[in-house]
Amino acid sequence: MFKDKTVLITGGTGSFGQACARALLTRCAPRKVIIFSRDELKQYQMGLALPEAQYPAIRFFIGDVRDKERLMRAFRGVDYVIHAAALKQVPAAEYNPLEAIKTNIMGAANIIDAAIDCGVSRVIALSTDKAVNPVNLYGATKLCSDKLFVAANSYVGEAGTRFSVVRYGNVLGSRGSVVQLFREQRKTGRVTITDARMTRFWITLARSVDFVLESIADMVGGEIFVPKLPSMRVVDLAEACAPGCAQDHVGIRPGEKLHELMIPRDEARNTVDCGQRYIIKPVFPFFYGRFNAEGCQPVPEDFEYSSATNTQWLSVADLRRIVDEH
């Protein structure tokens, strides 16, 4: 479906954006892949890695999702938008709350308005497990963003633009990953662990790209797509990244949880199990005339998808293999 289409990635110079752009350029024969971001240095560096001579479909567009006029210019002629731009560092959002709100919430509103006005066909927004029952500002802003994108389907009018969300866990290989911290601390012989009980969902960068592209192909508008992912214990990840090192337990940081949720019990009534993923359905009536539930089954009423009670787990050996591969 991406052949001869124009795809724009906001936050396109981030870890996901670069991996997604490379996947589109090498596998999908798009007409254009537009990298929309605000950092000229990162665009320059990405241009060196993906030179136009080798990838003639790539384009670079400097702009900020806070700037609606710039988005209106960038979205002209675009078929699909992948919205990956966000301020996502939890401590930074806690200390700079208005900046996170401007980018993650008001930026989402600007994306919606520009996409509708410019006739974009499909928009898919990247979310996070931290948006479920949020305890930090980053998660709260992403919850607001998710609500905006789902609700946008109810007022697109004749434009026909459709909006959906993908929600997944921690990404191996992304910038700021704890893997980088553990590998750096390995040199000292000691690593810092917040809490030995802590668990997280885990997804590779390549899998996150595949999941987003699959979801764009399947979306009818209004869904929140949740992949089925393995869980891991943070102490196991530390052992995989820094084998034999002493582990210092320093306590949970502000805004952190012991375990992450991707589907809370309160959303179980709207959730269906579709094999390799869950879909959280919106409550808007427009959705049910579009959605094909074939192959999907409702989850139990008391269902929740938590990293603590997951049925899939990664061992130290599994984690070490995945870290070494990626």
Q: What is the spatial distance between Cα 8 and Cα 83, in angstroms, rounded to a whole number?
A: 8
Q: What mean pLDDT is predicted for residues 270-296?
A: 91
Q: What is the spatial distance between Cα 231 and Cα 242, in angstroms, rounded to a whole number?
A: 19
pLDDT in tens, 210-222: 999 999 999 999 9
Q: What is the spatial distance between Cα 206 and Cα 173, in angstroms, rounded to a whole number?
A: 9
How crowded is the C-beta side of 325, counted as CA atoms within 13 Å?
10
Closest residue by Cα to residue 200 from 248, 145, 270, 257: 257
Q: What is the spatial distance between Cα 263 and Cα 146, in angstroms, rounded to a whole number?
A: 13
pLDDT at site 255: 78
The answer to whether 223 and 282 are in contact (CB under 8 A) is yes
Q: What mean pLDDT is predicted for residues 125-146?
A: 96
Q: What is the spatial distance between Cα 71 and Cα 67, in angstroms, rounded to a whole number?
A: 6
pLDDT at site 118: 96
What are the sequence ranges of the domains in the chain? 6-170+203-229+262-305
Helix or strand (DSSP H, E) at 199: strand 199-204
Please state, in angstroms and as integers, the Cα–Cα distance from residue 326 to each residue in 180, 207, 271, following that order.
12, 11, 32
**pTM of this prediction?**
0.94
pLDDT in tens, 10-62: 999 999 999 999 999 999 999 999 999 999 999 999 999 999 999 999 999 99
The active-site residue, picked from 130, 142, 257, 281, is 130
pLDDT in tens, 74-131: 999 999 999 999 999 888 999 999 999 999 999 999 999 999 999 999 999 999 999 9
130 is an active site residue: yes
Tell me the CATH class for 6-170+203-229+262-305. alpha beta
Q: Facing residues of 305 across strands? A: 263
Q: What is the spatial distance between Cα 217 and Cα 210, in angstroms, rounded to a whole number?
A: 11
Measure the CA dihedral 256/260/265/267, to 10°: 90
172: left (phi over 0), alpha (psi -120 to 50) or beta: beta
